[in-house]
Amino acid sequence: MKIAVVGTGYVGLVTGTCLAESGNDVVCVDNNAAKIAVLQEGRLPIYEPGLQELVQRNCREGRLRFTTDLGEAVAEARLIFVAVGTPPTADGSADLSAVFAVTEAVGRLVNGLPVCPWEPRILVVKSTVPVGTNARLTARLAELGCAQRLEVASNPEFLKEGAAVEDFMKPDRVVVGVRRGEVAEVLRELYAPFLRTDRPFLVMSPESAEMTKYVANAMLATKISFINEMANLCDRLGADIQDVRRGIGHDQRIGFQFLFPGPGYGGSCFPKDVQAIIAMGRQTGCPMHLMQAVDTVNNAQKQILFRKMLAHYQGRLQGLTVAIWGLAFKPRTDDIREAPSLVLIDALLQQGVQLRVHDPEAMRNVQTLYGQRLYYARNPYDAVQGADALVVVTEWAEFRNPDFALIRQLMKGHVIFDGRNIFEPRTVETLGFTYYGIGRGRRLNLPDNVTPSTQ
Ligand code: NAD
């Protein structure tokens, strides 16, 4: 099939590339000319495991192209995917300006093209959009006079950054929201190569498809805030959340997945989608008390490492040198949107702390934000040189089993704040470190009442 993908970010680039890999003829469009230029040179503007090789192969074989020219991409396309951003507005609701701009531009282009045998074309909305957006886009296309020639389908994306190619190639399920069965059949054909192992292709109304995406993210964000809150209580009571996890996870109604305590969720999806669902509730008179709490808990959790440091150093952080391992919002990505590391960096810089940071992939993005204010270490050991404390913020695999003897030698102080519980407290303490995890039962006086000292 001939396909256009509009918006060549994390979702659009993975979607376009994987659809090309299954034999389709794909043109990816973006209005960011610098991004398209990088892609045309065979490089990637983002880090995503396994993606570069796929992009290069499909470009070489002529199934994948990149352009800033929407007209060129739409001319032949039977399916036009929309994968532009939907960031939060000031009141938390999703900003749909890019989705509408693309839909209107596509509608006008189609109006100017001769009618072709594969019409109606299908505008497939992959961006995460509030419930009712499909209907609003359909109404807008009707106003533009092209509702008969362009059908809107909803097809939320569930891929995870860091495993996006794998997730797209072998999805748990594909959800499509359509008004006509024929549209679902075109999409079923498109996705058939990815659903060989009996993974379900779920057809529903556009409203249910749009809602499904928000409910999925709301559930996952809730699990994270739940376990974080329990971990904080463990810290106060002297229980170890790792043991508690084991204690609850074997109950099959609960399970182990997505119940890892940490410094709060980040990324471009959970924070904004939780806010958007709260906004949808507000707009429809259905208060989202639980989602509000999930958001509040998460915002507080992003302060947890800083608060533990304040408590350990009794409010006197100025002049310390701190190493940070992990900056991306999660491992195997370079994405730092809403990352907990940024909250910690801001707080520590404000206290006059010298920071030595390291991340396998996200350094360039962090450097764009902080410039010379941080030291960008070549590797984890370079980061800990002369440091008073080490803070683990992102659990990259290479941080899990380091040479602690070398770290002890290189560091000035010997305190570890493990924001992901990747180390075993007893092992690390035996090696001469003071250890703080999340919910490991350290009886730190984690006070709301310790205020930073500026002396
Ligand atoms: P992104 O910011 O990485 O990419 C969006 C791209 O759209 C950018 O390259 C931008 O330049 C481009 N763009 C914006 N306006 C445009 C226009 N008018 N014409 C052409 N291009 C335009 O965003 P993303 O992370 O890929 O997310 C895209 C959507 O997918 C969002 O709605 C997001 O919620 C959803 N989503 C994201 C993920 C994820 O893990 N990142 C997962 C599932 C769903």
Ligand 1 within 6 A of CB of 102: yes
Task: Give backbone dihedrals phi and psi of 412, rounded to 5 degrees, phi first.
Answer: -85, -50
Prediction pTM value = 0.95
Residue 266: C-alpha distances to residues 108, 130, 337, 395 (Å): 37, 20, 7, 14
Residue 10 CA, closest ligand 1 atom number: 26
Query: How far apart are the C-alpha atoms of 103 and 48, rounded to whole Å?
Result: 28
- Contact (Cβ atoms closer than 8 angstroms) between residue 25 and residue 36: no
Spatial separation of the C-alpha atoms in residues 348 and 328, rounded to whole Å: 17
Percentages (nearest 5) of helix, strand, coil residues in the chain: 45, 15, 40
pLDDT of residue 446: 55
- Cβ of residue 268 lying under 6 Å from some atom of ligand 1: yes
Give the span between the Cα atoms of 232 and 308, in whole angstroms.
11
Q: Which atom number of ligand 1 is nearest to the Cα of residue 46?
A: 3
CATH architecture assigned to 2-204:
3-Layer(aba) Sandwich (3.40)
Phi, psi of 323 (to 5 degrees): -95, 135
Q: What is the pLDDT of residue 455?
A: 41
Residue nearest to atom 44 of ligand 1 (CA): 157
* Annotated catalytic residue within 18, 28, 146, 269: 269
Helices (H) then strands (E): counts for the chain: 18, 14
For the CA of 13, the nearest atom of ligand 1: 26
Instruction: Give strand ranges (E) for 190-278.
Output: 201-204
First-residue to last-residue Cα distance in the chain:
66
For the domain made up of 208-455, the CATH class stated in words is alpha beta
Q: Do domains 2-204 and 208-455 have the same CATH topology?
A: yes
Predicted pLDDT of residue 339: 98
Q: Is the CB of 274 under 6 A from ligand 1?
A: no
- What is the structure's pLDDT at 118? 86
At 453 the pLDDT is 54
Residue spans of the domains in the chain: they are: 2-204, 208-455
Question: Helix, strand, or coil here: 265?
Answer: coil
Ligand 1 mutation pick, 13, 28, 30, max ligand atoms within 8 A of CB: 30
* Local structure of 294: helix, strand or coil: helix
Q: Please state the length of the chain.
A: 455
Measure the CA–CA gap between 455 and 452, rounded to whole angstroms.
9
pLDDT in tens, 99-154: 999 999 999 999 999 998 889 999 999 999 999 999 999 999 999 999 999 999 99
305: three-class secondary structure by DSSP: helix
Query: Which parts of the chain register pLDDT below 70?
Result: 442-455
- Of the candidates 78, 61, 64, the one whose C-alpha atom is nearest the C-alpha of residue 15 is 64
Which phi and psi (to 5°) does residue 129 adopt?
A: -130, 150
In the numeric block, the tokens 């102080």 are attached to: 413
- Active-site annotation holds for 59: no
Residue nearest ligand 1's atom 28 by CA: 85
